[in-house]
Structure 1
Amino acid sequence: MTLLTIRNMKTDIDQYVVLHDISFDVPEGGVFVLLGRNGAGKTTTLRSIMGLWKPSPGSVLFKGEDITGLHTADIARKGIAYVPENMGIFGTLTVDENLILATASGRFDPARLARIHALFPALEQFRDKQAWSLSGGQKQMLSVARAIIEPRALILIDEPTKGLAPSIVDAMAEAFREIAQTTTILLVEQNFTFARSLGRDMAVIDDGRVAHSGSMEDFAADTALQDRLLSLSA
């Protein structure tokens, strides 16, 4: 079943055309990975899905409903969460306060909070610490935790491993595998090893267009295609 459908999406930022013609389908369940070189348009794609930038023309369908042009808050209420590259946490608030702000009711659901603490034990250990004092990996965990503190059908996650130590990357991969059992993840990632270990389906964006899409297994087996689209040998 297709959860998210992107068709002929074009996004202009000021006088620049960033996305020329983006089309792909995200199936329900698992991890879908968007790959591409720096500046290819991956982040712009996520921001356009969330309504932070307005695609025109083109369409974004979520569960078959056209959400193109909706306000970001309305898109979020339909069950989509966004974890930006800059993490989007509040440094002067505690870990718990950051999580409470992400709830609809202003209260924790005990079962969901327990699940988050099981996924990210450091967030339980440092519940009363201000977010600015956390390590880079812990801040990233908090950012993801904010996205799943409420039930979501889809989470858009932008470059979660950037600047993280290998041990933290491994822990993040395990957490994402667990999350993907109940929530679809659309992941933008530069670390191909991390992306390959998680992704079931994928697309490569190059110069604002989808240059390739298919299964991650097939793409991972085609080193010539990887070198051509991602310059991995470099």
Structure 2
Amino acid sequence: MSLLSIKDMSVDIGQYSILHGVSFEVQEGGVFVLLGRNGAGKTTTLRAVMGLWKPSPGSVRFRGEDISGLHTSDIARRGIAFVPENMGIFGGLTVAENMVLATASGKFDASRLERVYTLFPALKKFWDKPAGALSGGQKQMLSVARAIIEPRALILIDEPTKGLAPAIVDAMGEAFREISASTTILLVEQNYAFARSLGRDVAVIDDGRIVHTGTMAAFDADKDLQDRLLSLSAFQEDHE
């Protein structure tokens, strides 16, 4: 059984149809990458999984259970976390207070907190500082740390490297590798080199439709397919 199964999912927002029968499956373990051009429907897909948009028609199944009609809080309680593109942290609260709000009980498991410190040492240094005073990279670290402070089966992460310095991107990649050894990651990412280095499986979305699924290794080996689906040669030039 797939950890996450999306079947014929369509999403309308107001008068606009954003997703059109999206279907793919995420197996347990590792990193599944969702690629696509700007505006293709990647973020809408993550938000629909999280219950922030309601698919109609279509279904989202998590561990075999249809969660497409559940509230976001109920989906989160089933073991799914969401790291949005805007990071979703509270700038006026301290790092510690942000982390407390990410827990169900308001208390930290010592071993999980130590894991956060190991992955993101800066958070320990700025533990009592306002989150709004952190750098962009440190805010992203805090956002991911909030998602892993309690056990999760699946983390949805939207554009985590956007605007980050190369050294921070490298550190984030190492953290994701460690996290994905025990928690499945569904990653939306524009930085193809970053996605390629982490992904086991990949789906490509274009104009609200899935146009390719397969292994990242096979996709990375097919340069013509990359260029046809993503205009990747031009995209890579923009990011060099």
1:122-157: CA deviations, max 9, x gaps?
A: 000110110010000000000000001110000000
Secondary structure at the residue paired with 2:232?
coil
Unaligned runs of 5+ in 1: none
Shift of 1:68: 1.0
* Cα RMSD, aligned residues only: 0.5
Shift of 1:108: 1.0
Match of 1:25 in 2: 25
Shift of 1:106: 0.6
Secondary structure at the residue paired with 2:37?
coil
Using the size of structure 2 for normalisation, the TM-score is 0.97
Match of 1:139 in 2: 139
Distance 1:21 1:137 in 2: 35
Shift of 1:47: 0.2
1:183-209: CA deviations, max 9, x gaps?
A: 000000000000000000000000000
Match of 1:210 in 2: 210
Match of 2:238 in 1: none
Alignment pair present for 1:9 and 2:13:
no
Shift of 1:21: 1.1
Shift of 1:110: 0.8
Secondary structure at the residue paired with 2:73?
helix
Distance 1:104 1:47 in 2: 21
Alignment pair present for 1:87 and 2:87:
yes
Q: What amino acid sits opposite 1:205 in the alignment? A: I
Distance 1:2 1:114 in 2: 31
Alignment pair present for 1:184 and 2:165:
no
Secondary structure at the residue paired with 1:233?
helix
Q: What amino acid sits opposite 1:187 in the alignment? A: L
Shift of 1:210: 0.2
Secondary structure at the residue paired with 1:22?
strand
Q: What amino acid sits opposite 2:35 in the alignment? A: L
Q: What amino acid sits opposite 1:142 in the alignment? A: L
Alignment pair present for 1:125 and 2:109:
no
Q: What amino acid sits opposite 1:66 in the alignment? A: D
Q: How does 1:90-169 map to 2 (within 5 A)?
A: 90-169=90-169
1:158-182: CA deviations, max 9, x gaps?
A: 0000000000000000000000000
Match of 1:231 in 2: 231
Shift of 1:2: 1.2
Q: Taking every aligned residue pair, what percent have the same amino acid on both sides?
A: 76
Ranges of 4+ aligned residues in structure 1 off by more than 6 Å: none
Query: What count of residue pairs does the alignment treat as equivalent?
Result: 234
Using the size of structure 1 for normalisation, the TM-score is 0.99
Match of 2:71 in 1: 71
Distance 2:61 2:35 in 1: 21
Q: What amino acid sits opposite 1:194 in the alignment? A: F
Unaligned runs of 5+ in 2: 235-240
